[in-house]
Amino acid sequence: MKNKKIIMGFLIICVILGPVSAVDWPMFHGNPEHTGFLEEPSDFASHPWTTKIGPVNGSLAIFNKVAYIGSLDGKIYAIDLEDGIIIWDYKTEASIVSSPAIKNNTLFVGSKDGYLYAIDIETGELEWKFKTGNSIESSPAVSNDTVYIGSDDCRIYAIDIETGSKRWDLYLGDSIKSSPLLVNDTLYVAATNGKLYSIGTENGTVVWNYTTGDAIYSTPAFYNGTVYVASNDGYLYAFNANDGTIEWKYNLGDKVYSSPTIDENDNSLFIGADNGNFTCLDTRDGKLKWSYQTGGPIKSTAALFDDYVTLGSDDGTLYVLNKYSGKEEWKYSPGYYLFNSPIRSSPVVYGKTIYFASENGYLYSVDSEKKEGPTPIFAYYTLGIIIIIIGVIIGIRMLMSR
């Protein structure tokens, strides 16, 4: 893979799989550890734009100034980040909620048709596909030679990255909606039976497991020897990565579908819950630093940049908060609040630009310095409706004046 070097910190905990480009975001939350931080490229220039794809629940991956994202229309799209033009798309047989991962110029993504797809990122052509026993909503984790994916058939699979052949699989007792976390030679996988598993990557042997009080949809994150994961029992758990003992847990007050974002420079963890509350905790002891209330459930996973944290909400708004105080800095609402659509796709910050998708089927590019995004298409609809209403009123008055 033609990459330079990564500087981590956003929502997927990288540093363990080896070097990845500092200007690329090759998987969900940027890196294998899901920490969620990305250094900007020096030669990148973008402007606010919007592109119509299909409804999106997953997040995008970035490589060499191109975004790759799956849609509920069953397609994976490659989109030029500077102008929003679609380069190619590949059609699967069912919806895609999985976020893609990229390794060695190959994109890996799961579909609800039950297949894991390997697609050439340059041409959009299929290299191979692997069939699991049920739909795939989990996002892949990729090492140098293996791609790991969970399926609704209750199994975690280890697949050869070159051939698409199965190395091993392991039955975990219930469907796997969250994405595997890869740290060195250990895989951390959560299932909807409420269990978090620590699994050796060599042959799929379980090292330890812990049962929470409800299903887990949240993807684990890793930092400084600790695995963090949220459960639908409302708690955020911090586990010792080696033996699975609980270091601390924090009650978030509602079900959690988003995943932790970690700021390793400030020992801060950020996560949202279905009660609309966005919380910042100390990674060391779980103590509350601050919280912020949005207008709807939070299923989007946050991203970090500079002194800020950004997230989407089901109220249809992209929020940008001060990461130290939780103060709202600014926000962007593509639907002008009247036509808002839930933002469940996790935002990605690339350079000075924030990219996110909405369930209305659009991908947005927002300038984080100018604090502005593209004029929403719904604004034109609203203007058209207003013009029609004014025209009708004028027409009625003219008729009445005769």
- Which pLDDT band, with edges at 50, 70 and 90, does 17 fall under? very low
Mean pLDDT of 212-222: 97
pLDDT reading at 340 higher than 70? yes
- Which pLDDT band, with edges at 50, 70 and 90, does 1 fall under? very low
Asked whether residue 311 falls in the same domain as residue 384, the answer is: no
Mean pLDDT of 306-333: 96
pTM of the full predicted structure? 0.85
Q: Are 381 and 388 in contact (CB under 8 A)?
A: no
How does DSSP assign 172-229, residue by residue? -SS---SPPEEETTEEEEE-TTSEEEEEETTT--EEEEEE-SS---SPPEEETTEEEE
Asked whether residue 383 falls in the same domain as residue 237, the answer is: no
How does DSSP assign 81-107, residue by residue? TTT--EEEEEE-SS---SPPEEETTEE
- The answer to whether position 386 is within a domain reads yes
Asked whether residue 319 falls in the same domain as residue 338, the answer is: yes
Cβ-based neighbour number of residue 4 at 10 Å: 11
- Closest to 306 measured CA to CA, from 371, 372, 216: 371
Cβ-based neighbour number of residue 267 at 10 Å: 15
Asked whether residue 399 falls in the same domain as residue 323, the answer is: no
- Closest to 310 measured CA to CA, from 362, 336, 272: 272
- The answer to whether position 310 is within a domain reads yes
CATH of the domain at 247: 2.130.10.10
Q: Which domain holds residue 385?
A: 376-402
Asked whether residue 335 falls in the same domain as residue 390, the answer is: no
DSSP 359: T
Asked whether residue 362 falls in the same domain as residue 388, the answer is: no
Q: Are 89 and 49 in contact (CB under 8 A)?
A: no
- The answer to whether position 5 is within a domain reads no
Identify residue 185 by its one-letter amino acid code: D
